[in-house]
Amino acid sequence: MRFGKIRIEDGELIFNRHMMVNNLPVNDILWAYVGKQQPGQDDVKLVLSHELVIVTRRDKEYRFEMPVREAENCIRLLRALNPGMASGMPSGARIQLISLSNTRDIGGLRTMDGRHIIPGRLIRSGDLYHISQLDQRVLLEEYHLEKVIDLRTEQEIRERPDTVIPGVEYYRIPVLDEEDKKGPVFGDIEEAMNPDNTWTEDQLSDMYENIVEDLYSVNQLARFADIIRKTDKGAVLWHGSTGKDRTGVATAIILAILGVPRYTIMEDFMRSNSCMEEDMKHMYRLLESRKCDTRVQEQNLEFYYMVHENCLNRMFRAIDRKYGSMYQFFRKEMLLDQKSMDEIRDRYLL
């Protein structure tokens, strides 16, 4: 089948390059996506053209100019022939699942050295308590989900246990010490709905700071990073309750290890607000139906569903103040040597 200047025959992608016919086995393709081709200054084109970008397991990149729809059809055929191939440029976008509002693929995010995170390998989420059968199939068949890391406390897990997906390994790594609780757990919807509780942004920011300063929490983050490092194939999904606070801290740590700049980490962090907005509005309508004074609960629900830049900034400032830099935090506190960090980058970056 032909797509632009390439054709796919007998499991190979065939194209001309430098006056020679090239045959690329489809099974050697690791990632394919549609990109925009920027015209040069002397280019008379009035619109941006698009291209199919192919990245191989040997870290070679090929670009073929073609219309978007044709490139998307080509990617569909490539995925049919090579189901393990990553596709698209999610760049932290929400995975369109029915039962999970804040499940996102951080693939496609760009690092400071110009590389990208491979899509379909690293997924952040809220809990999997009521994940639908259809969503399970999406994670298994499209993302080849291999491991789930639960960052919640044991009490939270008992109250809302993850649905067990066949063939997936589960790890419990609570990042908050239940025996040394220093404040509210902002993933507890019952506490948020309790009018006797009043949550503040300072309390939420304190939690972010405590996670990177408390020895127990830092050791748990180190365990989390080690599981990421030891996953050869398939996707790893990690989550707290709503997928924004503890999940946000863990994601920021992994992104920093991978070399993603802080402004990109912040952009990914803030994406939770758009993902969770509809859920928050639903709970606001529920409160209104009760016809009582709900000002405290509304404020609590905002902290339950929304993230705030200051919280993640507090985490970064705490690391810089106490350890000197992210690099020193990784080396001295999380015990990640340069070889381990390079191993994580080589595994998840192209």
Range list of H helices, the chain: 68-81, 133-137, 154-159, 189-193, 201-213, 215-229, 246-258, 262-270, 272-289, 295-305, 309-323, 326-328, 338-348
> Does the residue 96 lie in any domain?
no
Examine the domain organization and report whether 204 and 342 are in the same domain: yes
- Strand order across the beta sheet in which 86-87 lies: 61-65, 49-56, 29-37, 86-87
Q: Helices 262-270 & 272-289, crossing angle to 10 degrees? A: 30
SS3 105: strand
Tell me the C-alpha distance between 106 and 92, whole Å.
4
Q: Give the rounded percent of residues in the chain with a pLDDT score beyond 70.
A: 96
The enclosing domain of 30 has a CATH number of: 2.30.29.30
Judge whether 92 lies within some domain. Answer: no
Domains: count for the chain: 2
Paired with 54 in beta bridges are 32, 62
pLDDT (tens digit, 9 = 90+) per residue, 156-208? 999 999 999 999 999 999 999 987 766 777 888 888 888 888 999 999 999 99
Q: Residue 313: helix, strand or coil by DSSP? A: helix
Q: Which of 24, 53, 87 marks a domain boundary? A: 87
Looking at per-residue pLDDT, the higher value among 237 and 49 belongs to 237
Predicted confidence (pLDDT) per residue in 106-149, tens digit: 999 999 999 999 999 999 999 999 999 999 999 999 999 999 99
Domain that holds residue 268: 104-348
Q: Kindly report, residue by residue over 225-267, the tens digit of the pLDDT.
A: 999 999 998 999 999 999 999 999 999 999 999 999 999 999 9
Q: What is the pTM of this model?
A: 0.93
Identity at 215, one-letter amino acid code: L
Same domain, residue pair 56 and 196: no
Q: Are residues 15 and 138 in the same domain?
A: no
CATH of the domain at 221: 3.90.190.10
Number of H helices, E strands in the chain: 13, 13
Are 55 and 163 found together in one domain? Answer: no
Query: How many CB atoms neighbour CB 259 within 10 A?
Result: 17
Q: How far apart are CA 144 and CA 237, in angstroms?
A: 11
